[in-house]
Amino acid sequence: MRLSRSHSDKGKPELDLLRERERLLEEQIRSISAEPEKILREAQEQAVTLPPPDDLADRDRRKRFEENASRGQVRNQRRAQGLNLLLLVLLLAATSVLATWVFKLFTA
The pLDDT confidence band at residue 2, using thresholds 50, 70 and 90, is low
* Helices first, then strands: H and E counts in the chain: 4, 0
The pLDDT confidence band at residue 6, using thresholds 50, 70 and 90, is low
Q: What whole-number distance in Å separates Cα of residue 46 and Cα of residue 104?
A: 73
pLDDT digits (tens, 9 = 90+) for 66-76: 877 777 788 88
- Cβ neighbors of 1 (< 8 A, separation 6 or more) are 22
Tell me the residue type at 57. Answer: A
DSSP label of 54: T
In the chain, where the domains are located = 9-48, 63-107
Q: ∠ at Cα 86 (79, 67), nearest 5°? A: 25
